Structure 1
Amino acid sequence: MLFIASFLTFYSIDCSGGLECSALRDKYEYNGWKSDLFPVLPAIFLSGVIAAALIVAARFQPADRKVAGIALDHWGTAFAVSAAWSSLWALGGGGEGRSAGVGLILGLIANLAMAAAALLTQKVPALKAPLMGAPTPQVQSPYGTGAHPGYGYPGPGGPAAGGSFGGQPYGAPQPADQSGPQQAAAQPAGGTGGAPAGAQAPSAGGSDFAPFWFAVPVNRPLFPEDGGQTPIAELAPGTWYLAVDQRGAALVAQTQDGRRGVLQDTSGIQRG
């Protein structure tokens, strides 16, 4: 609506009051694109359009996406408030013989509504909901082919939502290897029957990890893999992330933009 309003009458001149404008009939009406009204176009109309674009774009971008250290929706709010403030000043700054046109009135209404919506979005959680669902990551195969030909959410042969990994839910204690005592009992007494059992112990606790998708119930920080305590990203609910490795009770997770870090708090995660 702002773009259309910029082509409508912004100011109109009433020549009945004795103003000498009869020789300038094309100057009776001005729209936002007239150079005589500069900087009406960038201050009111272009700022409003840029604000709307930034606010909408922020709904489709990750929460940590920033420009010059400021989030996109905050940039949009600043532009929206600036455009609304300029519209208010323009309404009372026409001068003698000038009256506000439909373009100015529509621009004022649009900018005020957008500024109010942008400010309320920061206060009302319901207005922060994304305009569309989280994108599903495309199937990739960074681990090569073979036992794991690729991963995606959810893979045709992958685990179902809320399924278990290795027959046990994530985080549950794994059953001890029962083959060791049985093999040891089968060996002759006094022989070297303990060797096979000892050889199988490392394989039972080996890193036979299969990547899987998961989601977090609340915002969780992602820490660097080198053990640093400054988060490199924040995992948000409603988005699927890839677990590429396991370190004790923690997971090495990969975000959708390729960053990897350690998720230390894995309580309540939802398997994909």
Structure 2
Amino acid sequence: MNIRSLTRGDGVVIGAAVLLFIASFLDFYSCEGDFCRDVPNGWDSDLFPVLPSIFLAGLIAAGLIVAARFQPAGQKLAGLGLDQWGTALAVFAAWSSLWTLIGGPDVDKGVGQILGFIAALALAAGAVLSQTLPALKAPLMGTPSPQAPSPYGAGQGQGQGYGYPAQHGAPSPYGAQPGQPGQPGGQQPYGGQPQAAAQQPGPGAPQQGGEFAPFWFAVPVTRPLYAEDGSPTAIAELAPGTWYLAVDQRGSALVAQTQDGRRGVLQDTTGIQRG
């Protein structure tokens, strides 16, 4: 489980779910006078089916949407992804809450009913728009900047071990030639010596005879890693903030290796950061 898999849209969903949970304990109707001692809230059985159709539906929807971020890409339940089930439940909860406002008994609306509708509406909006708005697709916590890492294969005590490249300056975008004039960082080739930097191509660049040189990279957002046999099944997810080793190239795709030794194909290489 990597919390960096969460997006800003997930943050909206989580915040709305917390607000919905609080609203469920507040008075659903407003009443004045001494005879109004037992004003029901969302958990009162007298208001059935308010509890399952609004409050529980919204909380379960948020749980499914967040849980989907920690599941392998492509995993489905009855033909739909967990986030799709969660989105449908969130819209249902907002729809149900709307009808309690416009079609319920002729009594004053309580703070729990009004706040519940606002929370359910925000939950549905966050669930739907997080799939379309780039601003809500961005990572919730951002991607940390790599720090003075150690070479691949270095022993413990020499640095931070597996998952970090040896860097001599700022990382460069995928496809850039390290060490060229105008390129930042001036990184050395993978496994090469500083003196040979002028004669050897940089990490990931094709060498003489089409040989591929392994290099480190990081993804800007969570991306699936597919099996090497070409099947559509994702075997892992690459998370921002972690360095992965590219061991081969297949057209525009990369064959990457995870920390636990699994290898797969990263089909979407746009925006990746090379170490």
1:111 to 2:116 alignment: no
TM-superposed CA distance for 1:89, in Å, is: 1.9
* TM-score in terms of structure 2 length: 0.59
Aligned residue pair count: 224
Distance 1:105 1:264 in 2: 46
Please say if residues 216 and 270 of structure 1, whose CA atoms lie closer than 8 Å, have aligned partners that are also in contact. Answer: yes
How far does the alpha carbon of each residue in 1:166-198 deviate from its partner, in whole angstroms, 9 at most, with x for none?
3422233249xxxxxxxxxxxxxxxxxxxxxxx
* Cα root mean square deviation, aligned: 4.7
Distance 1:70 1:88 in 2: 26
Give unmatched runs, 5+ long, in structure 1: 16-20, 176-204
Spell out the pairing of 1:23-172 with structure 2 (5 A cutoff).
26-27=37-38, 29-56=39-66, 61=70, 64=73, 66-68=75-77, 70-95=80-105, 98-134=107-143, 150-154=161-165, 157=166, 161-162=171-172, 163=187, 164-165=189-190, 166=192, 167-169=200-202, 170-172=204-206
Structure with more contact order per residue of length (Cα contacts < 8 Å, sep ≥ 6): 2
- Which residue in 2 is equivalent to 1:179? none
Distance 1:174 1:93 in 2: 74
Percent of aligned pairs sharing the same letter: 54
Distance 1:265 1:115 in 2: 29
Please say if residues 121 and 127 of structure 1, whose CA atoms lie closer than 8 Å, have aligned partners that are also in contact. Answer: yes
- Which residue in 1 is equivalent to 2:176? none
Residues 77 and 258 (structure 1 numbering): CA distance in 2 closer, same or farther, change over 3 Å? Answer: farther
2:201 partner SS: coil
Please say if residues 2 and 48 of structure 1, whose CA atoms lie closer than 8 Å, have aligned partners that are also in contact. Answer: yes
- Which residue in 1 is equivalent to 2:25? 7
Structure (1 or 2) with the larger CA radius of gyration = 1
Distance 2:268 2:118 in 1: 47
How far does the alpha carbon of each residue in 1:78-103 deviate from its partner, in whole angstroms, 9 at most, with x for none?
2211111111222244335x332221
Larger mean CA deviation between 243-252 and 105-114 belongs to 243-252
2:28 partner SS: strand
Distance 2:91 2:125 in 1: 8
Give unmatched runs, 5+ long, in structure 2: 1-18, 173-186, 193-199
How far does the alpha carbon of each residue in 1:210-234 deviate from its partner, in whole angstroms, 9 at most, with x for none?
x642146899885534xx2324438
* TM-score in terms of structure 1 length: 0.60
